[in-house]
Amino acid sequence: MSLARGRVLVSGGAGFIGSHLCERLLADGFDVLCVDNFYSSTRDNIAHLLDNPRFEIIRHDVTFPLFVEVDQIFHLACPASPVHYQRDPVQTTKTAVHGSINMLGLAKRTGARILLTSTSEVYGDPLVHPQSEDYWGNVNPIGPRACYDEGKRAAETLFFDYHRQHGLDIKVARLFNTYGPRMHPNDGRVVSNFVVSALKGESLSVYGDGSQTRSFCYISDLIEGLLALMNSSPDVTGPINLGNPGEFTIAQLADLVIEMTDPSAGVTYLPLPVDDPTRRQPDITRANEQLQWSPTVSLREGLTPTIEYFRAAVID
- Please, where are the H alpha helices in 123-175? 146-166
Q: Which residues contact 84 (CB under 8 A, 6 or more apart)?
A: 39, 40, 184, 187, 188
φ, ψ of residue 175 to 5 degrees: the values are -85, 135
Q: What is the DSSP string of 204-233?
A: EEEETTS--EEE-EEHHHHHHHHHHHHTS-
φ, ψ of residue 181 to 5 degrees: the values are -60, 150
Question: Which strands sit side by side in the sheet containing 240-242, from one edge to the other?
Answer: 55-59, 31-36, 7-11, 72-75, 113-119, 170-175, 240-242
Positive or negative: CA dihedral 130, 131, 135, 138: positive
What is the distance between the alpha carbons of residues 186 and 50, in angstroms, rounded to a whole number?
Answer: 25
Positive or negative: CA dihedral 251, 252, 256, 257: negative
Residues designated as active site: 148
